Amino acid sequence: MEIRTTETAVPTAGVQLTGDLVVPAQARAIVLFAHGSGSSRRSPRNRLVADALNRQSLATLLVDLLTVPEEAVDDRTGELRFDIGLLTERLVGIVDWLGSGGPAGPLPIGLFGASTGAAAALAAAAARPDQVYAVVSRGGRPDLAGADLNRVRAGTLLLVGGLDTEVIRLNERARAELPAGAQLRVVPGASHLFEEPGTLDQVAREAADWFTAALPAQPG
């Protein structure tokens, strides 16, 4: 299946961001990616996962949640990538934009978050329970979503590397705050960035299966 990526202007929360959009033929839903600390929409890890979702007839939108000037500041200070309130506000704005039709039509929405992006994804899911149906976190910091965790209604899957012991502990704590049905799965032999052979492929398979099961088919 040919996968064609379109660079798309994404309006949200008073700014315009840049996203990479893929809409397979007969797409049944769309997954919005919130990348993590110091990463970007061009992250090869997120792109590998997005490709797996596209092969399952899921559209994907990978967005840089910071503007170019903000990214320059963050490269120096590292502070904006941990501004969960800012990242959440922008994700919620994109969810609303997608829900109103956006560039892909009114498709059911899922969120994929990595590192600090996972906290923003969960907080956005809590803010938009009638629009976000599923969330997957890869090596995420869901604990940073704080009190929003127990308001999440979307089906949630937390994926953590087996060698990432501190992040496992943080995800276990977050899982206890999430409603029943959320799952924590540990990928054996994987470190925080899932650089070990085969581990990121497992993440892609798990995410594709989770979204396929949790996201409703497009009406009509």
Alpha-carbon distance of 23 to 171, in angstroms, equals 31
Which domains, and CATH codes, for the chain? 6-214 (3.40.50.1820)
Q: Could you identify the residue written with the tokens 């992040």?
A: 167
Which stretches does DSSP call E strand in the chain? 6-12, 15-22, 29-34, 58-63, 109-114, 132-138, 155-161, 183-187
- Binning pLDDT at 50, 70 and 90, where does residue 218 land? low
Residue 220 has pLDDT above 50, yes or no: no
Rounded to whole angstroms, how far apart are CA atoms 78 and 17?
Answer: 19
What average pLDDT does the segment 177-185 reach? 95
Gap between the Cα atoms of 21 and 210, Å rounded: 20
Hey, is 83 helix, strand or coil?
Answer: coil
| Planar angle of CA 89, 41, 152, nearest 5 degrees | 40
Rounded CA separation 10/12 (Å) = 6
pLDDT of residue 183 exceeding 50: yes
pLDDT in tens, 124-135: 999 999 999 999
Q: pLDDT at residue 219 above 80?
A: no
pLDDT in tens, 95-124: 999 999 878 888 999 999 998 999 999 999
Task: Give the residue from 210, 184, 204, 191 showing the smallest Cα distance to 46.
Answer: 204
126-153 per-residue burial string, b: 16 or more CB within 10 A, e: under 16: bbbeebbbbbbbbbbbbbbbeebbebbe
pLDDT for the residue 90: 95
Q: Would you say 21 and 36 are in contact if contact means Cβ atoms under 8 Å apart? A: no
CB distance 159 to 139 below 8 Å: yes
Is 174 or 5 the better-scoring residue by pLDDT? 174
**Predicted local confidence at residue 41, as pLDDT:** 72
Tens of pLDDT, residues 23-60: 998 899 999 999 865 566 777 888 999 999 999 999 99
Q: What is the pLDDT of residue 194?
A: 94
Mean pLDDT of 187-198: 95
Mean pLDDT, the chain, integer: 91
pLDDT at 1: 52
How far is it, in rounded angstroms, from Cα 137 to Cα 184? 9
